[in-house]
Structure 1
Amino acid sequence: MKRKNIIILLWISLATAIFFFVFFTGDKTFYNFLLSLIISCMYSFLIGAGNGMINDFLNKRLPWSEATTKRAVISIISILIINSILVYFCNYINFVVFQKNATPEEFFAGKYNFINWFMINIALLISAFLHAKGFMEELKKSSRKEVVEQKLIAKSANAQFESLKNQLDPHFLFNSLNVLSSLIDENPAQAQKFTASMSKIYRYVLEQKDKELVTVEDEIEFAKTYCDLLKTRFEDSVDFEFNVKKEEYKKFVVPLSLQLLLENCIKHNFATSSRPLLIKVFSENDILCIENNLQVREQMKESAGIGLANIVQRYSLLTKRNVFIEKSTDYFKVKLPVLSAKPNVVSTAIHQEDKSYEKAHKRVKEIKSFYANLTSYCIIIPCLAIINVITSPHDLWFYFPMLGWGIGIAAHGMSVFGIGKNWEEKKIREILEKENNRYGK
């Protein structure tokens, strides 16, 4: 047990001992005060430590974030059993061993049933508060972790994207300059055209530097210019076919995705005049497809797959629709989702962070409201019960506010912790997944 928890239990024991000593002890002697303190410590440490151990054990074996409903059910069953055992044990030691107000036979015969029942309810309320507090702490950790993960994903995707754009400069420039140097003497007109195409490519890269999405039309025009350079470089060893529907032109894709995929086709496949590489770019059902016949090039080292992984990651930050990859013995195809609307966000990282923070803030606010209600119940109901027992022990009216308020708290807890809404959330997720799969195929 942590030192902080021990200090809290000691203060609770001292406060409880003083209360019972002042209001319920006839002989105000040091011995009676010491006895009250010992009894209070017994109740506080046994019940408090027992519930704390249960909570810690369940947190390790069955965290709230992994199985909320299952954890709630197991917590309720365990605190009912453990608190009943601990309360009966403490009451037996108190009334039979310390105060000697009853024999063991009288205690188990039912003489102290009301006191046992009352103490069990108090213990259950305190235990429920502790478990709810543990749930809130777990929720806060999960919310912070989700925000951090979204920020890391966004930063990683942006960093890789910048790296890929920078890689375009040395590799592509080196190969293009070699082609240009040979064209200057052989075909000056073609060299001039080649230089103009190169300038268009680098202008496009600079223009799309800070954009999350571009129109299909812009990306296709850029890809055609890029393919012209590749065609000049490889001549009849590479052929390109573009068959994208005009209605798709005003929709959106992530920038430079076609360039990366076209570069992958050239990089991972060999191309000769006798066995040319055919690369097709076409559209089907809100999807932009890039397909090539498979002529795998033998490589000295395995590719890291950074380009394709970056495209998948950037799409995951903007939409729930997936990038699909098909591979057979004859062809390799990548399917890019075409988005009909451009997300109204300034930055993906900020959007994801704000969304996660807003969700976490709303959730914590709901739980804090439940805790305030539960805390008030734990304080007021015992006070009403004590006043009732002192003023009119034969007319136990405190049952009515205890039961009525208790039912209200139970309903509040079910709404906050989503016990009654799981089927709705599952159904919504199923419908969304079906829609995403339908559009993704």
Structure 2
Amino acid sequence: MSIANYWKTELKNDIIVCVKMTVFFGVLFTLINRQFTIRGASIVFMFSALYSFILGLGNGIINEFLNDKWDWVRETNSRVWAGIIATVIYTTVGVFVIHYIQYVLVLDNEFSVLFIERMLYVHLFAIVLSLGVAAFFHAKGFMIEWKKTMNQETTQQQIVAKTETAKFETLKSQIDPHFLFNSLNVLTSLIGENPIQAEKFTTKLSKVYRYVLEQRNKELIPISEELQFAKTYMELLQMRFEDALEFELPTAVSNNDLKIVPLSLQLLLENAVKHNVVSSSKPLRISIFEEDGYLKIQNTINPKEAIGKKSTKVGLQNIADRYGLISDEEVHIENNNKTFTVSLPLLLKTNNTMKIIDDFENSRYIKAVEKVERMKEFYQNLITYIIFIPIFIFINLRFSPQFHWFYFPIIGWGIGVLFHGLEAYNYSLFLGKDWEERKIRELMDNDKF
């Protein structure tokens, strides 16, 4: 979301949240401090509003501004450092402004009171607590952007899965033993009766299988190629069924750049033959034509008697799913009990959504997911550190101020957080950034592994 859109849409929601925080903490600290007078409660609510709006809303606006400047996923390092620097500076200045209003202007203390030892701890406590809240919202923003990216990658995985499933169904139906058995029976008969026709049949059968093998790794193909294949496939079927099968194909296409999902026509033509009676007395008529941006495949309906298993329509569903994943256009199916029509959207040039990444599991996606998981764990560790350290400081100064033991968890836990962050960002304190990956690449290049 851009900062301009934030002002239009999200600012109102953030203001409402700040008002709720003001009321909640105002009531809480009014009860804790027993400020039951109108003046006392008003002061508590005013301080609560200062913290909520100056620190809460201010950091929210900074967060949106930085999101507009640097992308969380593509520019993670720049976004993290910009967030750290901007948040620390703004929160530190904001806390001093609030404390100046609170202790000097409202409570009428000298300006020097802000720099006495006790107040320095108050400043530190407020700054660290505010940074913890700000870090939470920065981490939340990162997770939202990461999920958006992961959803896009998931969609791409779905395209791969649907494509491979459709390819499998196509190959399965094309190499179906029943189909192959019938084709070989026809070929056997033709060899004895009409050797010339048998030769033509063999040629067309080989073209069908060769086309299947050639197109199985493509996502979209020109409509002209698919129509040429459909013609060959229908001629093959017509040699098998003779006058029991009639078909009509367009002689030309309106635009040579139009594309469709490969082998979709084969599935639809095979389904037409599979689910209808094909006989000389009741010939099956199949028409393929272009209309209103769709390629329509229409066949007459003369259903076979329900014998054996009912059709699962897996092939047809996979065609519809593949179109649904790569285009806003939908596959339309119409059955008026006389004709069965499937309308396939005709697509123009492919876009990024349609592009399928070869060897998806071997791409940078897996590495990115692993890195994001490490970063997420680091942010959780950092947020926990930032939230609990102020609590330790408060407990220490409240119950045992003579011994400042809170330095031990600050330093010890802080070192752990530091090394966790270095690991998350693949940075070695002594060997530099991406040392491990560079060393692996070096060994692989030199064949020393």
Matched with 1:182 is 189
Structure 1 residues 250 and 157, CA, compared in 2 at 3 Å: closer, same or farther? closer
Displacement after TM superposition at 1:157 (Å): 2.2
| 2:174 maps to amino acid | L
- CA deviation after TM superposition for structure 1 residue 131, in Å: 5.8
Instruction: Give deviations 1:100-147, integer Å, cap 9, x for gaps.
Output: xxxx6xx42314533430233314544864567545534533542442
Q: Runs of 5+ in structure 2 lacking a partner? A: 1-7, 61-133, 373-449
In the other structure, the counterpart of 2:319 is 311
Q: Which moved more, 1:132-141 or 1:142-151?
A: 132-141
Q: Which letter does structure 1 place at the counterpart of 2:341? A: K
Cα offset, 1:290, TM superposition? 0.5
Give, as a single letter, the amino acid of the residue that structure 1 aligns with 2:23: S
Structure 2 CA distance, aligned partners of 1:112 and 1:335?
A: 70
User: What's the TM-score once normalised by structure 1's chain length?
Assistant: 0.55
| 1:222-254 Cα shifts (integer Å, max 9, x gaps) | 111111111111122111112354434553222
Aligned to 1:86: 25
1:289 aligns with one of 296, 320, 334: 296
CA gap 1:131/1:279 in 2 versus in 1, 3 angstroms: same
Residue 201 of structure 2 corresponds to which residue in structure 1? 194
Pick one of 322, 345, 362 that aligns with 2:330.
Answer: 322
**Residues 224 and 256 of structure 2 are in contact (CA less than 8 Å); yes or no, is this contact kept in structure 1?**
yes
The match for 2:216 is 209
1:90-109 map, 5 Å: 90-94=29-33, 96=34, 107-109=36-38
User: Match for 1:236: what amino acid?
Assistant: D
**In structure 2, C-alpha distance between the alignment counterparts of 1:306 and 1:82, rounded to whole Å:** 54
Whether 1:273 aligns to 2:280 is yes
What does the per-residue CA deviation read over 1:176-232, in whole Å, with 9 as the maximum and x for residues that have no partner?
Answer: 111111111121111111111111111211221222222222211111111111111
Q: Kindly indicate whether the alpha-carbon contact (under 8 Å) linking 2:258 and 2:348 is maintained by their aligned counterparts in 1.
A: yes
Please list, as runs of the form range in 1=range in 2, the aligned pairs for 1:15-94 lying within 5 A after superposition.
76-77=15-16, 80-81=19-20, 83-94=22-33
SS in 2 for 1:247: coil
Checking the alignment, whether the CA contact within 8 Å between 1:316 and 1:322 is kept in structure 2 is: yes
Are the counterparts in 2 of residues 318 and 348 from structure 1 also a CA contact under 8 Å? no
Instruction: Please say if residues 327 and 333 of structure 1, whose CA atoms lie closer than 8 Å, have aligned partners that are also in contact.
Output: yes
Do the aligned partners of residues 246 and 141 (structure 1) sit closer, same or farther apart at CA in structure 2, a change above 3 Å counting? closer
Query: 1:283 touches 1:289 (CA, 8 Å); kept in 2?
Result: yes
Q: Kindly state the Cα deviation for residue 72 of structure 1 after the two structures are TM-superposed.
A: 8.1
> Paired residue for 1:160?
166
1:437 maps to none
Match of 2:344 in 1: 336
Q: Which amino acid aligns with 1:328?
A: N
- Partner Cα distance (1:123, 1:141) in 2: 28
> In 2, are the aligned partners of 1:150 and 1:352 still within 8 Å (CA)?
no
**Which letter maps to 1:86?**
F
Seen in structure 2, the aligned counterparts of structure 1 residues 345 and 145 have a Cα distance that, compared at 3 Å, is: closer
Cα distance change on mapping 1:308 and 1:72 into 2, 3 Å: farther
Distance 1:193 1:229 in 2: 9
Residue number in structure 2 paired with 1:375: none
Contact 1:241-1:279 at 8 Å conserved across structures: yes
In structure 2, distance between residues paired with 1:137 and 1:188: 69
Do the aligned partners of 1:248 and 1:286 also contact (CA within 8 Å) in 2?
no
**Cα shift readout 1:74-119 (whole Å, capped 9, x = no counterpart):** 675455235414323324422x3xxxxxxx6xx4231453343023
Asked if 1:148 corresponds to 2:154, the answer is: yes
- Cα RMSD, aligned residues only: 3.5
Partner residue in 2 for 1:113: 42
Q: Deviations over 1:264-314 (max 9, x none)?
A: 111111122111111111112332110011112233222221211222222
Q: How many residues align?
A: 280
| 3-state SS in 2 of match to 1:264 | helix
Q: Is 2:220–2:260's contact at 8 Å kept on the other side of the alignment?
A: yes
For the residues of structure 2 that align with 1:93 and 1:153, how far apart are their CA atoms?
A: 58
Change (3 A) 1:89 1:226: closer
Q: Contact conserved, 2:191 with 2:198, CA < 8 A, in 1?
A: yes
> Aligned with 1:278: secondary structure?
strand
- 1:264 is matched with 271
State the identity %. Answer: 37
Residue type at the aligned position of 1:322? E
| Distance 1:72-1:175 versus aligned 2 partners, 3 A rule | farther
Structure 2 counterpart of 1:158, one-letter code: E
